[in-house]
Chains A and B, each alone.
Chain A
Amino acid sequence: MRELVGRPYHEIRPRLGKDLSVRELVDAYLENIARLDGQVRAYLTVSADQARAQARELDDRLARGEPLPPLAGVPVAVKDNLCTRGVRTTCGSRILEPFVPPYDATAVQRLREAGAVLLGKTNLDEFAMGSSTENSGFFATRNPWRLDHVPGGSSGGSAAAVAAGEALAALGSDTGGSIRQPASLCGVVGLKPTYGRVSRYGLVAFASSLDQIGPLSLDVRDCALVLQAICGRDPHDSTSVDLPVPDFVASLEAGVRGVRVGVPAEFFGEGLQPEVRQAVLEAVRVLEGLGARVEEVALPTLEYALPTYYLIACAEASSNLARYDGVAYGYRSPRAHDLYTLYARTRAEGFGPEVKRRIMLGTFALSEGYYEGFYKKAQQVRTLVRRDFDRCFQTVDVLATPTSPVAGFRLGERTADPLQMYLADVYTIPVNLAGLPGISVPCGFVEGLPVGLQLVGRPFEEATVLRVAYAYEQATEWHRHRCPLLRA
């Protein structure tokens, strides 16, 4: 059944209930996990029994002649910062190692309702804080294209799982690029929806005003399918917006003739790997060739986005992560003998260094005497970043940029210098600050490592972003490439 693995769902679906059962599809993926995950290490938890039970149930429904739900039988992986009822949810942290949620995240529940089969939970940088998945409290995930390279992060497990055929699609979360950057590094499609498009209920919060859940998939059509299933207002999330959800798949083929594509010069400056620059500019030319109108735009606040992002994200995180204290759930230090040591030792033993660093940075930015100069200043600059994007979108429909400044980096290459690691997200971060939809699609290779093109749209215009990405994808072959590991 190896031939099933690594094919997009829209190719598989017509066979379901005919020459292919859900059980066979799910088994093929579980077998591939067994074959490859020892090397890739994408999963923290594989819930094979539950997956098989769910597959059987779907096959029974098919046998009874019930209509196929939209994601019937899609073997999905879910980032381990999304709550799954009865399945351990660790956030890649020792502090949540024992935590089994009593509820499903809304996005997970919607996936299940759409017929997707949950294969397991994927590795991530602890609490989604990182850009390489090396900050996982358990182990590092590897890039399936080159195992000595990182898969990106923080949704590195989800991106690697899709790239290695260990899941047909996956959910990730994106606070500053954590879906798009690993999608770029692993050569898959990854979309961060507009803030408010997908309910965050059940997503373990890193930075509440920036976090969004989104899909990772083999191609744009599958991405649209998964997005369709998880979108929409949820009464459990006050920030999920009550707007109609368009039919993303139906609008894919509208083409890009007349679409105005903006290229912000600041995204092509210092720090960008020349080969990446070439690949992205070539992609822009492809869009132009398909009838898009390309023009240069300016985002002068780009250089301020990174500090702004880290101040806001860390401030929110310092508060969001205060609840991991050893009291009502999760890890508790055996060395706790009073209230203070219960807190301070549980957290000292439970959190890794990057999480501690960010909690400290955020606590500092909010503390008396520093709030105005750091946190509030960052919130004001956030306003300026938004205004930059607003201005761009007065003249263009989408922006085209590199997703990541480099095609990839080796394991251990950036772990010693936090600031170098932060710079990996320099092109994705501004999009979160403005709450906009952004996608990364494969657009080339550098030394066997994939390169990603980022397309960014106006708020709630995921359909436009998907349509441009689809047009590009259909005109190129990058999305058909599979990593050597999977082909072996």
Chain B
Amino acid sequence: MDYETVIGLEIHVQLLTQSKMFCGCSTRFGAPPNTQTCPVCLGLPGSLPVINRRAVELGLRAALVLNCTVHPSSQFHRKNYYYPDLPKNYQISQYQYLEHPPLATDGYLDIEVDGQRRRVGIRRVHLEEDTGRLVHPAEGAVSWVDYNRSGVPLMEIVTYPDLRSPQEARAFLLKLRQVLQYAEVSTGRMEEGTLRCDANVSLRRPGEPLGTRTEVKNMNSIRSVERALAYEVARQREVLERGGAVVQETRHWDERRGITFASRSKEEAEDYRYFPEPDLVPVEVTPEWLEEVRRSLPELPDARRDRIMAQYGLGRYDAELLVQTRATADFFEAAVAAHPSPKSIANWMLGDLSAYLNEHNLEIDQLRVTPGQLAELVRLVEEGTISGRIAKDVLVEMLETGDSPRSIVDRRGWVQIADEGALRETVEAVIRDHPEPVRDVQAGKEKAIAFLVGQVMRRTQGRANPALVQRLLRERLGLPPQG
């Protein structure tokens, strides 16, 4: 008998604010250790938190795009536990505790997997502060603490256990990242830690109550979430099929070995002693405020897809791919603005560019190529300055060097040969060296002409204008011009 997979996700998202959740320190990533700290985020005696209004508004944006119920009044709480990355030894969080609701609850996000539409329930959305960062140097019996990240605004999103496969979990994360990026709530990059995901996984016989779950942590990309979940599902299935029982535990994903393992460190039953944060007053969201936030929402993916279809005459499939990430859609529209050839630009982006991104595991805004440069490349092809074949090589070099296509073409001497005199010599040479195909062509096998065109292209390192070569060959071999 088969098992049903049940997955719920707990996602932490870093909010796109300039300053921290409760103090004015910068949230800029990558600063030297402890250079973005102050009495508040260091938890110095006497310091007090004050809520960043922007963080609340970004939380409300997320609540809206996730179709949640926003609570008119919510209160921050203290979650008490000791850890060196937590300077106060309590985390200020809107955790749902007893009668105190978090910012928003009970929403949903629709995803599509294999053409099937699925609705994934959102249990809650709440705000909290991030911890500092621990570094474990290879040598010595110490760890190092950097508090730059301490107090950076985080939003926690918890789903209901509605996901039924690792593929669905992946689709959900892609969709979530997409809407959060569009709403300008977060950059949503798992690789940089601005989106983090833990997963609860269990198996059950269909129709039966939920099985014992494990919590899987330490996944650093959407791809690794899918892999880790696939591993964990298979592992639990094996345990169950052997007649064993799944142990409720936290398991860590090891990316290199491709396995999850149970952490050895003893997990003491935690008692977080939540209580209302007396240093902060309740957050009250009036209908007017919520409406103001709703009006400020940027264009969301579905709306943008429809607009791109209408405005640029693209098909639904291509438009859907172009709005996959906000950065992709922005890139596309910027390129089209520089050179209005939406179809060619879309083809380049969804073809060569997208292959390159996948191969190197990059996001489009991490490329050295600008939208203007891609537009220029398309223009060079359309103007006949370079052939489409050469353009592919130019793009590779653009991606590697960041240089403009024009300068690459000039440097390499890749300007297309459109000089009949120069090409005629090559055509003659090719006909002389390949009597067999020439005979085939003359015997009526017109397809063989493609071979001869290819040979001319080869001898000119692809720089010949293919249409011109075709014409010259046909003239020389006494064929009528191509329809």
Listed in ascending order, the chain A residues whose CB lies under 8 Å from chain B are 81-83, 89, 91, 96, 99, 101-103, 105, 200-205, 207-209, 235-239, 315-316, 318-319, 322-323, 325, 327-329, 339, 343, 363, 366-368, 371, 375
The answer to whether A209 and B43 touch (CB under 8 A), given A201-B48, A323-B87, A327-B87, is no
Which of B8-16, B77-85, B113-121, B460-468 binds A?
B77-85
Pick the residue among B45, B51, B82 that contacts A325 (CB under 8 A).
Answer: B82
Pick the residue among A236, A319, A329, A339 that contacts B84 (CB under 8 A).
Answer: A339
Contact between B278 and A325 (Cβ–Cβ < 8 Å)?
A: no
CB closest residue in chain A, given B40: A236
The answer to whether A328 and B42 touch (CB under 8 A), given A201-B48, A236-B48, A323-B88, is yes
Contact between A209 and B39 (Cβ–Cβ < 8 Å)?
A: no
Contact between A327 and B84 (Cβ–Cβ < 8 Å)?
A: yes
- In Å, the complex CA distance between A328 and B145 comes to 9
Which of B48, B87, B90, B147 has the most chain A CB atoms closer than 10 A to its own CB?
A: B48
Output the least CB separation between A104 and chain B (Å).
Answer: 10
The answer to whether A101 and B48 touch (CB under 8 A), given A319-B273, A368-B271, is no
Contact between B45 and A89 (Cβ–Cβ < 8 Å)?
A: yes
Contact between B84 and A323 (Cβ–Cβ < 8 Å)?
A: no
Contact sample, A vs B, 28 pairs, CB 8 Å cutoff: A82-B46, A89-B45, A91-B45, A103-B39, A200-B46, A200-B48, A202-B47, A203-B46, A204-B45, A204-B46, A205-B46, A209-B278, A235-B50, A236-B48, A236-B50, A239-B278, A239-B281, A316-B275, A316-B278, A318-B273, A322-B90, A325-B82, A328-B145, A328-B147, A329-B44, A339-B84, A363-B273, A367-B273
Number of A-B contacts (CB under 8 A): 97
Listed in ascending order, the chain B residues whose CB lies under 8 Å from chain A are 39, 42-51, 78, 80, 82, 84, 87-90, 145, 147, 271, 273-275, 278-281
Residues of A within 8 A of B275 (CB): 315-316, 319, 366, 371, 375
Contact between A325 and B89 (Cβ–Cβ < 8 Å)?
A: yes
Which of B42, B44, B280 has the most chain A CB atoms closer than 10 A to its own CB?
A: B44
Q: Is the interface of B mostly helix, strand, loop or mixed?
A: loop
CB closest residue in chain A, given B85: A327
Residues of A within 8 A of B273 (CB): 318-319, 363, 366-368, 371
- In Å, the complex CA distance between A99 and B80 comes to 24
Residues of B within 8 A of A209 (CB): 278
Contact between B90 and A319 (Cβ–Cβ < 8 Å)?
A: yes
Residues of A within 8 A of B39 (CB): 101-103
Contact between B271 and A367 (Cβ–Cβ < 8 Å)?
A: yes
Output the least CB separation between A447 and chain B (Å).
Answer: 39
CB closest residue in chain A, given B97: A371
CB closest residue in chain A, given B87: A328
Residues of A within 8 A of B279 (CB): 205, 208, 238-239
- In Å, the complex CA distance between A366 and B44 comes to 23
User: Lowest 5 A-B CB distances belong to which pairs?
Assistant: A322-B89, A366-B273, A208-B278, A209-B278, A204-B45
CB closest residue in chain B, given A363: B273
Residues of A within 8 A of B271 (CB): 367-368
- In Å, the complex CA distance between A311 and B280 comes to 20
Pick the residue among B44, B48, B90, B145 that contacts A238 (CB under 8 A).
Answer: B48
Residues of B within 8 A of A235 (CB): 50
CB closest residue in chain A, given B42: A328
Residues of A within 8 A of B44 (CB): 83, 101-103, 329
Residues of A within 8 A of B87 (CB): 323, 327-328
Which of B42, B45, B90 has the most chain A CB atoms closer than 10 A to its own CB?
A: B45
Residues of B within 8 A of A105 (CB): 46
- In Å, the complex CA distance between A200 and B46 comes to 8
Pick the residue among B45, B50, B51, B145 that contacts A327 (CB under 8 A).
Answer: B145
- In Å, the complex CA distance between A419 and B455 comes to 102
Residues of A within 8 A of B281 (CB): 238-239
Output the least CB separation between A197 and chain B (Å).
Answer: 15
Which of B46, B87, B145, B281 has the most chain A CB atoms closer than 10 A to its own CB?
A: B46
CB closest residue in chain A, given B270: A368
Pick the residue among B43, B145, B278 that contacts A323 (CB under 8 A).
Answer: B43
- In Å, the complex CA distance between A81 and B45 comes to 9
CB closest residue in chain A, given B84: A327
Residues of A within 8 A of B43 (CB): 323, 328
The answer to whether A319 and B42 touch (CB under 8 A), given A238-B50, A239-B279, A327-B145, is no
- In Å, the complex CA distance between A243 and B106 comes to 38
Which of A327, A363, A366, A368 has the most chain B CB atoms closer than 10 A to its own CB?
A: A327
- In Å, the complex CA distance between A208 and B44 comes to 15
The answer to whether A101 and B46 touch (CB under 8 A), given A315-B275, A319-B275, A363-B273, is yes
